[in-house]
Homo-oligomer: A and B are copies of this chain.
Amino acid sequence: VRFASDNTSGVCPEVLRAIAAEAGRDDAAYGDDRATARLTEALSTVFEREVSVFPVATGTAANSLALAATNPPWGGVLCHRSAHIAVDELAAPTVIGGGLTLMPVDGEHGRLTPDALTAAFARIDHGVHTVPITGLSLTQSTEAGTRYRVEDLRALVDVARAHDLVVHADGARFANAVAATGASPAELTWNSGVHILSLGATKGGAMAAEAVVVLEPDVVDAFERHRKRHGHLLSKQRFVSAQFLGWLADDAWLRHADHANAMADRLGRGLVEAGLELLHPVETNMVFVALDDPTEAAWRDGGASFYTLPLGDGRREARLVTSWSTTTGQVDALVDLAARCGPPA
């Protein structure tokens, strides 16, 4: 039973078929190909707006390039203290952003709040000496497995607008948020004030497929230059585009996300029944429970695989991630294991 990450899952059949279909064709390199053109059309339809699309191979690249293209190198970007860009990318947004500063802000259950954003501006502003706050990056769905509803987004963006910030969304698990909220991709992005989105397919069933979706059109030249000079322009880019085309077709992406969400829901309910405490509401495809050392050891002995981080009170937070390929059997096996081990003392 594997719950370490949705990154450990394989490649879904729809994506694999799309790769195989593309494999037999020749086409132009570096994005000047038919698959990429079709992807731009497809995402313009999904987002109900003409968008620019830049396929890349990693989420770190998508996030960092999106921020680099929309913030000056001396700018600062507000984000949640647990944001992937802040804690899990070895400062790549700073490096690729030319010295960009990430400014972590607290918030319950992985979610930023308008009050916390506003509070970030109550600081000494020493003119040219002080990093100007120029951007906001939010994660949808969040690193705590929660999501922002449309009204949550709009309240955040109101603050952002008041301070003229550019708004980026890290959508490594955007599909899970769309599936969970029922809101449309448009409502969850430009219609609520998001300017640029990192749209991830890798965790949702692709092999290596992330796309920066530019909803505001004026950063395209800067983006293309940054992408190339940081080594993120793929020669056979059409195979990333093809992965997306397979993933998006017939709403496969939403079905896979819906399945992952359902598996997390089932897992969360089962663990609660087994006496465990949920640390965050289960809103997408991640479940967080508190474990003590003996329970963690017992779970691992039982074959469970997952990440933990210290909670500061002697216990550890276990993160359990489901994916498009998680089966009810795997979920039930972990619930059974948890029931057998019993709740932490």
Contact = CB atoms under 8 A, between A and B. Distances in A.
A19 interface: yes
Interface stretch (A92-100, A268-276, A277-285): A92-100
Contacts of A231: 58, 60-61, 64-65, 89, 92, 96, 230, 232
A120 interface: no
A155 interface: no
A60 B202 contact: no
Nearest to A330: B26
Interface string A51-67: 00000011111001100
A230 B96 contact: yes
Contacts of A228: 60, 74, 89-90, 92, 128-129
Given A8-B29, A124-B310, A99 B95 contact: yes
A90 B57 contact: no
Contact of A88 (B88, B126, B208): B126
Interface in A1-23: 2, 4-5, 7-11, 16, 19-20, 22-23
A345 interface: no
Which secondary structure dominates where chain A touches chain B? loop
A239 interface: yes
A101 B91 contact: yes
The count of identical subunits is 4
A123 B309 contact: yes
A28 interface: yes
A7 B61 contact: no
A116 interface: no
Given A19-B16, A26-B325, A88 B230 contact: no
A5 B91 CA distance: 34
Contacts of A72: 222, 225
A30 B73 CA distance: 21
B230 A95 contact: yes
Q: In the A-B complex, list the 3 residue pairs whose CB atoms are closest, starting with the nearest.
A: A61-B231, A124-B309, A7-B29
